[in-house]
A and B are shown apart, each in its own frame.
Chain A
Amino acid sequence: MRREAALNAAILVALIAVPAWAHLSDEPFTITLATRAVILALAAVGLNIALGIGGMVSFGHAVYFGIGGYAMGILASHAQSYTPMELFGLSIEGTKSMLVIWLVAVVLSALAALVIGLLSLRTSGVYFIMITLAFGQMFFFFSISWAAYGGEDGLSIYVRNGFPGLNTLVPIQYFGLCLAILLVVLWFNARLARSPFGLALNAARQSPARAETVGLNPMRLRLVAFVISGAITGLAGALFADLNRFVSPTMFSWQLSGEITVLIIIGGVGRLMGPVAGAVVFVALEHLLGGLTEFWHIYLGAALLLVVLFARGGLVGLIAGRPGGGGGGHG
């Protein structure tokens, strides 16, 4: 455990030091890359609650990422064009305030996760993987055919949304905001894993029958975890859309669900910092290999294959050894 703690600290220091260096040497693009890594990490931290602690292999987490993205896109586009949104006879003003957008993103993705979770958790194993994938595809095709909000082309927002006291268009300030959210969520995640709820969820993953015998309700535990997981990924989606000032149906695509899962696997399933390590490595590889060759996905594929076949526990597991406490391993 001590090595894992040291590794976690090293990852955090790197996450702060690199953008700080980039800011001083005036390389805004590196800051943008780091922001991208932080946001992807946040999405993966969300998924890791369902996948790592809860043992639910959701292959449709892009749903929540996309809902977060579209919450931002739709609200901001209405604010941008000064036209209120007409919804069931109500007239809702758009907004450029990040706080409001985040709230909407979190609430909507939590609601979606509640409905999808209620329906999907009736199944297990492969059927669960496939039904979550199917819900992902449902949202994907819906967003493509939803012409009012750009359809296949997506929605562009001209100016990044505002946060009180910050100029979010300055790369380092937006990075700091995203990092702060990631740290809060990581702290929450660490607390959650050690809380009675987290321990019960862990037990329900490792042995549902025993958990039930001692009076726990695995179904309800999983559903709550699934909703929390979806809400966090939804928040990441809103941040991601704001980073790019653009949303499109690709945020709902199943490849994106796959990529979020890949981040966790590269980093280490069920490890607190696994998703963060995975996201940093992923973004770095994407940038470095993407600059060398157009076909960098071949190397990503090969790396992923090697991790799955030979390095269970991902990078964190490789460096820090077997897990000592809660949240390690998966079933």
Chain B
Amino acid sequence: MSHILIAEQVLNGLQFGVMLFLMAAGLTLIFGVMGLINLAHGSLYMIGAFFAAVVAGWTGSFLLALIAAMAAAAAAGALVELVVIRRLYDKDHLDQVLATFALILIFSEGTRWVFGSFPLFLDIPDALSGPVTLPGGIQYPLYRLVLIGTGLGVALGLGLLITRTRIGIQIRAGENDREMIAALGVDISRLYTLVFALGAALAGLAGALVGAIQSVQVGMGEPVLILAFVVIVIGGIGSIRGALVGAILVGLTDTLGGVFLPELFKLFMEPSAATSVGSSLASMAIYILMAVVLIWRPTGLFGARA
């Protein structure tokens, strides 16, 4: 086990983590501001990936594909908010879960209807393909480094948006007391639509970026959605900082667990048994992490005290 392998796996975990952050940031904002559990967030991720694949196919431009993915996901998000989601704000969580579960069914089958069951492919642009050599002699794919950079950039931008701008002040005020800011003259329903579209655009961006290293297909959003929920629950629902910490924690746990747990068990078990025990434990690792965090702090690492 060389230091190069370890460094590579840490980078992989980081890359996975920041992509989860893009999903989790939207979810946690939507929950924090509107108090809404949105299971359909994974569908917005899928919509982003499909639009990116189609636009990249037409124009050959990856940048246009990303813009299309964000625009399409934001538009779909705004539409869903206007038609369905705003009827759910004052309902209980069970209704929100079920209504957005219904939206998943509609979006997934609708996409299958239009595009069929076969995956689409989105290629990494030539300028970003191929490996680069990092200090220490580590060969690492440039595209994945770009993903890490983009994710951290978005995190920074989002942090600035929330803490430094007028809209950020309104969002934070909305988390604390929605009646009050409505009484102060902020158009609360416009703010809600905006926050929802912002979260959707981030999900769409994540879908397009990840779509280039995996295949673009129906159902791609749900595994990521569940991981994003794990992330925001670990971080504390409503906290952007919690989402970033949780995302990186989950990304690293999942990636490093998959590689190192089987190795760890090989130290005191026979290899074949170690591999099977290690890999089954690794696949459960993030859920165990989440359960431990929740049992230790029932509202997550950065969550408000209940």
Tell me, rounded to whole Å, the shortest Cβ–Cβ distance linking B19 to chain A. Answer: 19
Q: In the complex, are the beta carbons of B295 and A137 less than 8 A apart?
A: no
Chain A residue nearest to B280 (CB atoms) is A145
Among A99-107, A166-174, A217-225, A294-302, the stretch that binds chain B is: A294-302
Report the Cα distance A254→B230, complex, angstroms: 14
Report yes or no: B98 in contact with A304, Cβ–Cβ below 8 A. Answer: yes
- A304's partner among B92, B105, B298, B300 (CB-CB below 8 A) is B105
Measured CA separation A144–B223 after assembly (Å) = 15
Given known A131-B291, A134-B287, A147-B276, contact A301–B98 (CB-CB < 8 A): no
Q: Kindly specify which of B106-114, B141-149, B166-174 makes contact with the partner chain.
A: B106-114
A330 to chain B: closest residue by CB: B94
Q: Which of B31, B94, B283 contacts A144 (CB 8 A)?
A: B283
Tell whether, in the assembled complex, residue A127 and residue B280 are in contact, meaning their CB atoms are under 8 Å apart.
no
With CB as the reference atom, state the residue of chain A lying closest to B292.
A119
Contacts of B306 in A (CB 8 A): 124
A57 contacts across to B, CB distance below 8 A: 93-94, 97
Nearest chain B CB to A122 CB, angstrom units:
5
Q: Are B291 and A119 in contact (CB under 8 A)?
A: yes
Q: Is B252 an interface residue (CB 8 A)?
A: no
**A 283-330 contacts with B by CB, 8 A:** 295-298, 300-302, 304-305, 308-309, 330
Interface string of B100-128 (1 = CB under 8 A from A): 01111110111011000000000000000
Min C-beta distance of B213 to chain A, whole Å:
22
Is residue A135 within 8 Å, beta carbon to beta carbon, of the partner chain?
A: yes
Chain B interface category by residue count = 35 or more
Q: Are A295 and B113 in contact (CB under 8 A)?
A: yes
Q: Please tell me if the beta carbons of A262 and B98 are within 8 angstroms of each other in the complex.
A: yes
What sequence of 0s and 1s flags, for each residue 131-142 of chain A, a beta carbon within 8 Å of any chain B beta carbon? 101110110011
Q: How far is the CB of A189 from chain B (nearest CB, A)?
A: 20
Contact in complex: A309, B84 (CB < 8 Å): yes
Provide the residues of chain B in CB contact with A262, threshold 8 Å.
98, 101
A59 at interface, CB cutoff 8 A: yes
Q: At the interface, yes or no: B187 with Cβ under 8 Å from chain A?
A: no
Q: Is the CB of B215 closer than 8 A to any CB of chain A?
A: no
Q: Are A301 and B93 in contact (CB-based, < 8 A)?
A: no
Contact status B298-A295, CB under 8 Å: no
Whether A126 lies near B37 (C-beta < 8 A) is yes
Name the interface size band of chain A: 35 or more
A123 and B290 alpha carbons, distance in the complex (Å)? 12
List the A residue with the shortest CB-CB distance to B87. A309
Q: Roughly how many angstroms separate A131 CA and B286 CA in the complex, as a whole number?
A: 12
8 A Cβ contacts from B289-306 to A: 290-291, 294-295, 298-300, 306
Q: For the complex, what is the distance from the CA of A134 to the CA of B99, rounded to whole Å?
A: 20
The answer for the CA separation of A269 and B97 in the assembled complex, in Å, is 14
A89 touches B (CB below 8 Å): no
Which residues of chain B have C-beta atoms less than 8 A from A297's C-beta?
105-106, 108-109
A130 and B229 form a contact (CB under 8 A): yes
Q: What residue in chain B is nearest A305 (Cβ atoms)?
A: B102
Q: Which residue from chain B places its CB closest to the CB of A57 in the assembled complex?
A: B94
Contact call A134/B230, Cβ cutoff below 8 A: yes
B186 contacts the other chain (CB 8 A): no
Q: Does B237 contact A (CB under 8 A)?
A: yes
**Cβ B102 vs Cβ A301 within 8 A:** yes
Q: How far is the CA of A57 from the CA of B233 in the complex (A)?
A: 16
Task: Name the residue of chain B whose CB is nearest to the CB of A262.
Answer: B98
The answer on a CB contact under 8 Å between B298 and A127 is yes
Provide the bound-state CA to CA distance between A278 and B306, in Å. 35
Q: Does residue A258 face the partner (Cβ distance < 8 Å to B)?
A: yes
Contact A141–B280 (Cβ < 8 Å):
yes
Residues of A within 8 A of B230 (CB): 130, 134
- Across the interface, do A304 and B280 meet the contact criterion of CB distance under 8 Å? no
B233 touches A265 (CB 8 A): no
Residues A127 and B233 in contact in the complex (CB < 8 Å), given A145-B283, A331-B92: yes
Q: Give complex CA distance A123, B292 in Å.
A: 12
Which B residues are CB-close (under 8 A) to A59?
A: 97
The verdict on A298 contacting B280 (CB below 8 Å), with A127-B233, A308-B102 known, is no
Interface centre among A124, A126, A295 (most CB of B within 10 A): A126
Whether the Cβ atoms of A146 and B113 lie closer than 8 Å is no
Q: Which residues of B contact A (CB under 8 A)?
A: 31, 37, 84, 87-88, 91-95, 97-99, 101-106, 108-110, 112-113, 226, 229-230, 233, 237, 276, 279-280, 283-284, 287-288, 290-291, 294-295, 298-300, 306
A and B contact pairs by CB, cutoff 8 A, 13 listed: A51-B94, A119-B295, A122-B295, A122-B298, A126-B37, A126-B233, A131-B290, A135-B291, A138-B287, A141-B284, A142-B283, A254-B226, A295-B110
7 closest cross-chain pairs (CB), A and B: A301-B105, A145-B280, A141-B283, A304-B102, A301-B106, A138-B287, A305-B102
